[in-house]
Amino acid sequence: MKKIFYAPLLFASSLLYAETMHMAEEVRVITSKPEYRMVTSRVPYQECWDEQVAVQYAPPPPSEGSGVAGALIGGVAGGVLGHQIGSGRGNTAATVGGAIVGTLVGKNIAEQSASSTPPPPGYRMERRCTTRYEEKSSEQFMGYRNTANYKGQTIVKYSDKPLEFIHLDLMVTY
């Protein structure tokens, strides 16, 4: 138990007597070389062209009375034809039958003729654009790599200009 108590006490007392010493030294630079790196930038640009586009027009909605006129004309024509074909007591039945068939046929023909001819497609010019990128690469100056040796160790310091000496701040604790 006493050993455990004395070890931290000895360590703490050694810290009380520790001292630190600061020194400044200059080390001569052996090599000073400029360093560059490749930088790539992407510059956007727009590419545009005119394009002819087909335009489909919607057919007009059928008007309310589009089949009525055809039904009336067909009914009258069918009734006249039925009356011409029939004779005697069947004359009335032939006239009514002709009128009904004529009405249906006339209405169908009128509705088909109104909606069967779609307008021809039209064309218009539209401007289309897309964004593309142009890549440009160039070497960019990073700075000078200054190299020196201090007590067997290589020291490197980067700067904007070549250096003759590298300044070192040393701290020794004992």
- Please write the tens of the pLDDT for every residue from 112-166: 766 656 667 788 899 999 999 999 999 999 999 999 999 999 999 999 999 999 9
The pTM (predicted TM-score) of the whole model is 0.40
- Please write the tens of the pLDDT for every residue from 91-105: 777 777 777 877 787
Q: Do 51 and 128 touch, CB atoms closer than 8 A?
A: yes
| Enclosing H/E stretch for 59 | none
Pure H helices in the chain = 2-16, 68-85, 90-115
CA-wise closest residue to 41 among 142, 137, 144, 167:
137
Quote the pLDDT of residue 6.
64
* 164/29 Cα distance (integer angstroms): 5
Q: Do 68 and 76 touch, CB atoms closer than 8 A?
A: no
* 69/83 Cα distance (integer angstroms): 21
Quote the pLDDT of residue 76.
74
Quote the pLDDT of residue 118.
64
